[in-house]
Structure 1
């Protein structure tokens, strides 16, 4: 088997300990293990017997692994999963025979798909913009090495403990000939996941080009921005029928005013999924947009990461304490019993507990009404994402919220939608006075949130 450029010997079972199963799929299985000599965790990918992704007929898994590892080694960088070597041994978890696999970097943050599922929605905007930028960086590097990914989707974008993104799963990678001849980007057999495939890929005679990855990136952006799976109820046959007709995931619920730079990112998303492959921007062109919009939120990234870690910790703790209660259910808040509510409502139960001096440190600094209003404006995106007790706050605002507006807010299904309506219908026309009043009420209901945001 072909070896990697920096690897002289395969990694054997004797070098690995503390094996854990972390995932499986049609390709095979992935394990986590600690390397005894290196002192850190690695991932080991083992393919099923006979699995191969490089031709129309199955090939031996040893060749498939060698080619995948070679592709990974060729594009190793900060935004692409690192490969350490090739595994050869008998896995302790159900292993009976000698197996071969790839030893890779272990990503403790899971995948983008898992993150969106755990959050029941999109991450905070700073993290959205960083994910968009890092995926574009990885894909640009991949294409610069004349390779396609060919299966770009949320489950193939892995995250470290700080939610930095790296591209993974090169089982469908192809050597791109487009760099040799710009008019002929033929690469090989079609593949990928149908929800992320471009319209031309549903043609029987299609041969993939790099525009395939650009389209997939557009759908991936939509998933990250909305926190949703594209076409969740559609059968594959319907998707195959409608995508070539021009159907795309809906964008009407994306409010461009929620975050600076969001409109530019959505415009890029739509360009990437253009019906005409030649009109889709290259990843180098995508980077011009993603770098610009991420720079607007770069200073907020640490707060966003902390917020997500807190949510995930609350999620885990909540499930551990009461495994019979659905994750999104909170008996103290009637609206949170709806199946579509997000993780924000898990914290309703916690925030209704009387805070102790040890758990909450309330700031004693005084702020003018203008400062309070500025605080609300500056933190608009985070407040929309994180304020859970919306109707209780609206009730305390009293006559500041018009009766028709109150009914409109109450009719909204999620806390995020209620907060958006409050910003648009009450804060915008009400100005400083209403925002200052909202700040005061917010501080009583969400003291930790206000303190974390510097209020």
Structure 2
């Protein structure tokens, strides 16, 4: 059994537990190992997930062990540090304190070109190794590419992400309800829910991943699965490249051409990762000498105590909105009818309609979720509040709030949500009101 290959670590060997995030698979904690003397991450499966799923994930991670894939340090076995927990298992890895590539996308500007090139090259190296071992990733996206202290890429969450989607009906990947992982999904998978995964799936996801790294943006923000099926699957649309092609970076044209080949509509036309590496290595070697400076620049930006942090926030406020495909954006903002009632005199029904009409954008853009939850008070039951607190990021928090308290509470709760939204997200409400009445 695969677990016998690794140390079994009980809770007594871990200290300074801290919640670090959650996803479809379960929960991630960070803790310090008392014997190893360094900080680790413990990924614990949600209740109901099979231990055999975890065993399979560990087996895959061991098989794919290389410099560009996150390694297993041990297996947690015991009681997690939350009330009412039961005996469970988890995967222990080294804690990646710089987050993931998604962390870089949250900065106001794209990663400096030398670092961006190294990231896509290292991900291609990791993916080529996985495929050579006859493994698929199945969920390649920025949040599943972790970063070490020097911003080197480490692939994570291959295998478990697919298992957890079937083990948790609450995951958006399982239900296929809204965006998220779907924006990195190839057109053939969007159109056929039962299609068998293939290596070409990962290559397509890699093409979209490249676009995200080069632009510093999320593709198709807020787009639901149905819009993606129509525009990406049937209409063959892809993230916009016109601004990217205008940049004057050495090797950019070669990598953009590779990116476009990777997201080709026809799976057979997509290159293998070995072919991708021919191009990424060539461009990386052009910029290798400048990578250290680029890394230091980004590390300085990520430091909250840095002297540049204030200017970064100012730049972020002035930065332009995400590019999206025109048809998808039109779908996001289309209205059945115009509601021009003044926001000061809006009825409860009108407020609820505003929330329903804009829910995709609200899920994507609202950042003060917990402050809004506090405003709603008892309208959000305690157990739901705890679940929201323990979700991965603001988008997941909003999604959880929408599918629970807002959905079951009807017009009254949605109207209260709108009122709280005006207090904590006034700029967003103003923007959406302008679009709605135009």
TM-score normalised over the length of structure 1? 0.63
CA drift of 1:67 comes to 1.0
1:406 corresponds to = none
Check if 1:14 corresponds to 2:12: yes
Question: Does 1:199 pair with 2:187?
Answer: yes
Matched, 1:140 2:139: no
Aligned to 1:153: 141
Is residue 2–residue 55 contact of structure 2 (8 Å, CA) maintained in 1?
A: yes
Residue 138 (structure 1) shift: 0.4
Q: Are 2:208 and 2:263, in contact at CA under 8 Å, matched by a contact in 1?
A: yes
Unaligned runs of 5+ in 1: 52-59, 175-188, 331-335, 343-455
Are residue 48 (structure 1) and residue 36 (structure 2) matched? no
Alpha-carbon shift at residue 100 of structure 1 (Å): 1.0
CA distance in 2, matches of 1:85, 1:67: 14
- What's 2:64 paired with? 75
CA deviation after TM superposition for structure 1 residue 16, in Å: 1.1
Q: For residues 238 and 316 of structure 1, do their structure 2 counterparts lie closer, same or farther at Cα, with a shift above 3 Å needed? A: farther
Is 1:232 matched with 2:227? no
Query: 2:68·2:123 contact (CA, 8 Å) conserved in 1?
Result: yes
Q: Does 1:286 align with 2:276?
A: yes
The separation in 2 between residues aligned to 1:102 and 1:305, in whole angstroms, is: 29
C-alpha distance in 2, partners of 1:37/1:338? 47
Name the residue aligned to 1:313. 303
CA contact (8 A) 2:146 2:153 kept: yes
CA distance in 2, matches of 1:190, 1:337: 34
Tell me how far apart the structure 2 counterparts of residues 70 and 105 of structure 1 sit (CA, whole Å). 17
Q: Which residue of 2 aligns with 1:27?
A: 25
In structure 1, the residue matched to 2:333 is: none
Cα deviation, residue 120, structure 1:
2.0
CA RMSD, Structure 1 to Structure 2 (Å):
2.6
User: Where do residues 111-260 of structure 1 align in structure 2 (5 Å cutoff)?
Assistant: 111-117=100-106, 119-170=107-158, 171-172=160-161, 193-202=181-190, 203-244=192-233, 245-255=235-245, 257-260=247-250
Shift of 1:116: 1.2
**Other structure's SS at 1:329 match:** helix
Give the match for residue 384 of structure 1: none
Does the CA contact (< 8 Å) of 1:19 and 1:93 recur in 2? no
CA contact (8 A) 1:198 1:212 kept: yes
User: How many residues of Structure 1 are paired with residues of Structure 2 in the alignment?
Assistant: 306
Aligned 8 A contact 2:301 2:312 in 1: no
Secondary structure in 1 aligned to 2:244? coil
Q: 2:266 aligns with which of 272, 276, 282?
A: 276
Shift in CA distance, 196/88, structure 1 to aligned 2, threshold 3 Å: same
| Residue 34 of structure 1, CA deviation | 1.2
The CA deviation at 1:207 is 1.3
Structure 2, unmatched stretches of 5+, are: 164-173, 323-438
Work out whether residues 271 and 281 of structure 1, in 8 Å CA contact, stay in contact via their aligned partners in 2. Answer: yes
Give 2:2's aligned residue: 3
1:338 offset after TM fit, Å? 3.1
Is 1:99 paired with 2:88? Answer: yes
Deviation readout 1:20-60 (Å, 9 max, x if unpaired):
11111222110111111111111100011113xxxxxxxx2
Judge conservation of contact 2:68–2:154 (CA < 8 Å) in 1. Answer: yes
- In structure 2, distance between residues paired with 1:121 and 1:28: 31
Inter-partner Cα distance in structure 2 for 1:90 and 1:173: 25
CA distance in 2, matches of 1:94, 1:317: 41
C-alpha distance in 2 between matches for 1:17 and 1:95:
19
Matched residue, 2:34: 36
| 2:329 is equivalent to residue 328 of structure 1 | no
Question: In the superposition, relative to structure 1, how do residues 13 and 314 fare at CA in structure 2: closer, same or farther (>3 Å)?
Answer: closer
CA displacement at 1:233 relative to structure 2: 3.8
Go from structure 1 to structure 2 and tell me whether the alpha carbon gap of 1:47 and 1:220 turns closer, same or farther (over 3 Å shift). same
Deviations 1:346-400 (A, max 9, x none): xxxxxxxxxxxxxxxxxxxxxxxxxxxxxxxxxxxxxxxxxxxxxxxxxxxxxxx
Deviation of the 1:258 alpha carbon: 2.1
Structure 1 residues 212 and 317, CA gap change in structure 2 (3 angstroms): same
Deviation at 1:95, TM superposition (A): 6.0
Any idea what the Cα deviations from partners look like across 1:146-177, whole Å, max 9, x if unmatched? 01000000000000011000100121469xxx
Q: CA deviation at 1:124?
A: 0.4
Query: How many Å apart are 1:316 and its aligned residue?
Result: 6.5
Is the partner of 1:39 in helix, strand or coil?
coil
1 or 2, which has the higher helix percentage? 2
Task: Determine if contact 1:122/1:225 at 8 Å carries over to the other structure.
Answer: yes
Q: Which structure is higher in RCO with an 8 Å CA cutoff and minimum separation 6?
A: 2
Q: Report the 3-state secondary structure (helix = DSSP H, G, I; strand = E; otherwise coil) of the residue aligned with 1:88.
A: strand
SS of the equivalent of 2:12 reads helix
Provide the C-alpha distance between the structure 1 equivalents of 2:246 and 2:128, rounded to a whole number of angstroms.
Answer: 26
Partner SS state of residue 146, structure 1: coil
Does the CA contact (< 8 Å) of 1:190 and 1:201 recur in 2?
no
